[in-house]
Amino acid sequence: KEGTMLQNCQPKPTYINFKGKILNDLDKHWIQLKYNQYYGRNEQPSWKYQFLKHGSCCQNIYNQNTYFSQALRLKDRFDLLSTLRRHRIVPGSGYTFQEIFDAVKTVTQMDPDIKCTKGAPEL
């Protein structure tokens, strides 16, 4: 189905903990909020989970380093927080689903896959 994110493809890849520059880049730009910095950098649970779940579906195109390098480039290209700010969408006020949807679409040029979660903190 178009627009559905691929996940858990076979064969399952092997994850190798990052070291060096890419580790520093990930630690700075893909923060593992669920864990303290020491544990996150050493055990890398969030990055490992994402790679095993989604990276498994492109391993014939991207190795682990390329997968994450590309993800960081896309993050910079489609900077969600900057996009929302440009559309005057900032934390502390209420916004409609459509306002957020339209703001994101100005950058992606496609309908974003946005979901509302009941009980989630407001943006």
Q: What is the pLDDT of residue 1?
A: 42
Q: What is the pLDDT of residue 74?
A: 87
Cα–Cα distance measured from residue 42 to residue 16, given in angstroms and rounded to the nearest whole number: 11
Contacts for 90 with CB less than 8 Å, ≥ 6 apart = 84
3-state DSSP call for residue 48?
helix
Helices first, then strands: H and E counts in the chain: 6, 0
The token duo for 1 is 């189905």
Contacts for 56 with CB less than 8 Å, ≥ 6 apart = 7, 8, 9, 10, 11, 12, 13
State pLDDT tens for residues 12-46: 888 999 999 999 999 998 888 889 999 999 999 99
State pLDDT tens for residues 73-116: 988 888 888 899 999 998 877 888 899 999 999 988 889 888 77
Exposed, middle or buried by CB within 10 Å (0-12, 13-18, 19+), for 68? buried
Q: Is the pLDDT of residue 4 over 80?
A: no
Quote the pTM value. Answer: 0.67
Exposed, middle or buried by CB within 10 Å (0-12, 13-18, 19+), for 112? middle
Higher pLDDT, 18 or 8: 18
